[in-house]
Amino acid sequence: MTKAYAAQSAKSPLAPHSITRRDPKPADVQIDILYCGVCHSDLHQARDEWHDAAPTAYPCVPGHEIVGRVSKVGSGVTKFKAGDLAAVGCMVDSCRTCSSCQRGLENYCLSFPTFTYNGADKHSGGVTYGGYSDRIVVDEAFVLKVSEKANLAATAPLLCAGITTYSPMRHWGVTAGQKVGVVGLGGLGHMGVKFADAFGAQTVLFTTSPSKIDDGKRLGADEVVVSKNAAEMKAHAGSFDFILDCVSAEHDINSYLQLLKLDGTLCLVGAPEKPLPVAAFNMLLPRKQFAGSGIGGIAETQEMLDFCAAKGIASDVEVIPIQKINEAYDRLVKGDVKYRFVIDMASLK
């Protein structure tokens, strides 16, 4: 049996629970989990807040930002050996045969990827259980390499918050000399600022909180705009090549579309609960793109981890023991974290 923390219902707090992990099959890697990041998705899923789109199966063991050390490998594994550092992100399998998977975009699998938790487990026939546990077994095709030089706790959130912000910047070709905006300074936004700066772009952070100005500049923003200030917003009208919108709360998307230049792109990676109204002429004059993006595929996620290791990029984290996970969820709702909680899984032993 494997020790874990699970939600037994939408209303119950997470508490100790035991789960069964499969013995490694020939292509499997068994990982002893050292750290697991806490994503807002974990909270939504544990509390069944996405019931219509993705109903939660209980017991639910969240966690898809996993870093650990390989303890056992199957007979056919070639990329990992016992003792290696390894990571697992938001998915643990896909159909591997559709056009998306063949392009290395397993995250957009036409048959839907198998998510790390609350997904359909192809091996057990039940549901998948995530990283709020002391070990996990995953096919090596969905296991990632981690540098021995990495800060492991600060690396864990890269498996979701990192790749979610890295992937669209790579797809839309963010590069030196461009002007790039990042909307919102939270778990996603703080990584967006770091990546835009690392790519050499002129980086502008948009926030509703004047108290975040200093932090935004510390993280790499060349300028911080308080979005409630109409004059500050107007000064940037029609000037951005790319804007990454990391806000999941309801907000005025049109105020940011007005900041794009000809052929500029605004990409949404936050997930507001309600639809965002878009004024047609904010798209037509001049020509602009309003886009969205999810996580990246396995190859791109490995590229991102390697890029971060080379550049010394990691998340800003607050490390907690598993026993404080319910308190962390309450603080997450209030935005009371800079900028990502990470569980030290040694506290589960």
> What is the pLDDT, as a whole number, of residue 226?
96
Residue in the block written with tokens 């069944």: 48
> What is the pLDDT, as a whole number, of residue 94?
97
Q: Of 305, 272, 265, 303, whose CA–CA distance to 287 is shortest? A: 265
Which residues contact residue 159 at a Cβ distance below 8 angstroms, ignoring those fewer than 6 apart? 37, 64, 65, 66, 67, 87, 88, 89, 90, 144, 301
Q: Of 157, 208, 141, 127, whose CA–CA distance to 41 is shortest? A: 157
> What is the pLDDT, as a whole number, of residue 133?
98
> What is the pLDDT, as a whole number, of residue 144?
98
Rg of the chain's alpha carbons, rounded to an integer? 20
> What is the pLDDT, as a whole number, of residue 20?
95
Average pLDDT over residues 328-332: 96
Confidence grade of residue 273 (pLDDT, cut at 50, 70, 90): confident
> What is the pLDDT, as a whole number, of residue 338?
93
> What is the pLDDT, as a whole number, of residue 293?
97
> What is the pLDDT, as a whole number, of residue 188?
97
> What is the pLDDT, as a whole number, of residue 294?
96
Give the separation between CA 8 and CA 340, rounded to whole angstroms: 24
> What is the pLDDT, as a whole number, of residue 124?
84
> What is the pLDDT, as a whole number, of residue 208?
94
Cα–Cα distances in angstroms (integers) from residue 150 to residues 1, 146, 310, in the given order: 30, 7, 10
Confidence grade of residue 51 (pLDDT, cut at 50, 70, 90): confident
DSSP secondary-structure letter at 157?
A: G
pLDDT digits (tens, 9 = 90+) for 86-101: 999 999 999 999 999 9
CB contact at 8 A, 100 and 91: no
Give the separation between CA 292 and CA 121, rounded to whole angstroms: 28
Q: How many CB atoms lie within 10 A of CB 9?
A: 13
> What is the pLDDT, as a whole number, of residue 125?
87
pTM of the predicted protein model? 0.96
Average pLDDT over residues 213-217: 96
Domains of the chain with bracketed CATH: 2-160+296-348 (3.90.180.10), 162-292 (3.40.50.720)
Average pLDDT over residues 193-200: 98
**Percent of residues, the chain, with pLDDT higher than 90:** 94
pLDDT of 274 above 90: no
Confidence grade of residue 137 (pLDDT, cut at 50, 70, 90): very high
pLDDT digits (tens, 9 = 90+) for 259-272: 999 999 999 999 88
Burial of 270 per CB tally in 10 Å (0-12, 13-18, 19+): buried
Confidence grade of residue 182 (pLDDT, cut at 50, 70, 90): very high
123 vs 297: which has the higher pLDDT: 297
223-226/240-245 β-pairing: unpaired
